A and B are shown apart, each in its own frame.
Chain A
Amino acid sequence: QKEVEQDPGPLSVPEGAIVSLNCTYSNSAFQYFMWYRQYSRKGPELLMYTYSSGNKEDGRFTAQVDKSSKYISLFIRDSQPSDSATYLCASLDTNAGKSTFGDGTTLTVKP
């Protein structure tokens, strides 16, 4: 079993839709949780990271962590064609000093 499992997708939505991207993790040592966005043939870029359970908002993006159920979510409001990319969730074990990534969900937002 992978330590970080991500809903595989692909996901296709119309412009303006609310998008929900989801991951689960199994390692209780994970302390920080990140979302990265990767455009085709590019390196991933960090979107958001959270430490505790709860919500963190940045513009149209909201990251949600529920440590009791080991569930991570990213919500995108008013989705735009420019949001079309692969989204990777990641969990960090600071003791081990490395992150574990999900396999990614490819999102297409259609105009």
Chain B
Amino acid sequence: DTGVSQNPRHKITKRGQNVTFRCDPISEHNRLYWYRQTLGQGPEFLTYFQNEAQLEKSRLLSDRFSAERPKGSFSTLEIQRTEQGDSAMYLCASSFDPSIYFGEGSWLTVV
């Protein structure tokens, strides 16, 4: 039984560059979530998919952020024109029943 998989685990990028993170949920989980976590804080909800439909986006998800889940399988989170304030861990989670399972996260450092 594989868990939620995220790639890359770590990314260092220069300010202004674009980055993309990938999430592979637990198979058969129809719901997929993205969260962001900064140092010393709890995770914050960013967006949510049910199958391929993006049903909700947080105000935290600025226009520079876009998430997709083609065919209701894996998902990508792209950040365009990165800023230093984007430095954080980006967590993906998936669920089928009310239990939500998180991946190991993708660390982003913007220099």
Asked if A and B are interacting partners, one says no
A interface residues with partner B (beta carbon < 8 Å): none
